[in-house]
């Protein structure tokens, strides 16, 4: 299906370096290469889908609000019967399409979505300026995921590790205004763009 985009949607604005103040605990931002594949299970085929997922990707479909990582692919629950598969690729969409023939609708969203990774001790405080979810360790954690709005922009958020690191997946057309918000929200302690 899709080759990587020749130009990253944030190439013009996300130039490496420090933005804002030079604080002691800046927010670290990076732009990972991600293939993003949306999978929607056909009604009544949930069990066959789970078996196919186990056979092809070595993991069960994640529970609501959770992610599961199997090798280089991470599956994220986004809605009842709906999952997002992400990985460094290439060929994830083809793999998923072959694995789920007749069981699920598979759509390659790699060009339509852009993933931004934020990490560091400042990450929760910065996200809290635009995100209405409780990301405190008591309520959220690694392996948890949520579809929500951040700064009024629809965003798929999932926590990767305890650093804490979060992956934010937004529509590519809104990635630039989202990125501007992120840099503004983090400017107090600085934003280091890798």
Partner 1 sequence: MLRIPCPHCGARDEIEFTYRGDATVARPGPDAGVDAFHDYLYLRTNPRGWQAEWWQHSSGCRAFLKLLRHTVTHEIRAVATATETLEVPGA
- Is 146 a binder of partner 1 (CB under 8 A)? yes
Pairing of strands 27-30, 191-193: parallel
Among 16, 64, 71, 102, which residue sits at the site for partner 1 (rule: CB under 8 A)? 64
Distance CA 58, CA 56 (A): 6
The answer to whether residue 137 forms part of the interface with partner 1 (CB under 8 A) is no
Our CB check for partner 1 shows the closer of 137 and 149 to be 149
- Least Å distance, CB 186 to partner 1, is 22
The piece of 11-19, 74-82, 107-115, 172-180 that touches partner 1 (CB under 8 A) is 74-82
Site for partner 1 contains 148 (CB under 8 A): yes
Q: Site for partner 1 (CB under 8 A): how many residues?
A: 13
Q: Which is nearer to partner 1, 153 or 160 (CB)?
A: 153
Q: Is 154 in the site for partner 1 (CB under 8 A)?
A: yes
> Any contact of residue 149 with partner 1 (CB under 8 A)?
yes
Taking CB under 8 A as the binding criterion, the range among 17-25, 46-54, 145-153, 175-183 that sits at the site for partner 1 is 145-153
Residue 77 CB, shortest distance to partner 1, in Å, is 9
């Amino acid at each position: 299906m899709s080759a990587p985009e020749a130009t990253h949607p944030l190439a013009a604005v996300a130039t490496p370096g420090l933005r804002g103040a030079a604080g002691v605990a800046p927010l670290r931002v990076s732009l990972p290469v991600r293939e993003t594949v949306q999978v929607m299970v056909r009604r009544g085929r949930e069990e066959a889908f789970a078996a196919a997922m186990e056979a092809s990707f070595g993991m069960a479909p994640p529970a609501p609000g959770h992610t599961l990582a199997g090798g280089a692919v991470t599956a994220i629950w986004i809605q009842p019967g709906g999952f997002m598969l992400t990985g460094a690729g290439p060929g994830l969409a083809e793999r998923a399409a072959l694995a789920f023939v007749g069981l699920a609708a598979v759509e390659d969203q790699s060009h339509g979505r852009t993933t931004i990774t934020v990490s560091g001790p400042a990450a929760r405080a910065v996200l809290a300026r635009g995100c209405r979810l409780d990301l405190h360790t008591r309520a959220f954690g690694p392996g948890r995921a949520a579809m929500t709005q951040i700064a009024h922009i629809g965003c798929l958020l999932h926590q990767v590790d305890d650093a804490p690191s979060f992956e934010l997946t937004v529509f590519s057309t809104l990635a630039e205004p989202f990125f501007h918000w992120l840099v503004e929200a983090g400017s107090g302690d600085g934003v280091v763009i890798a």
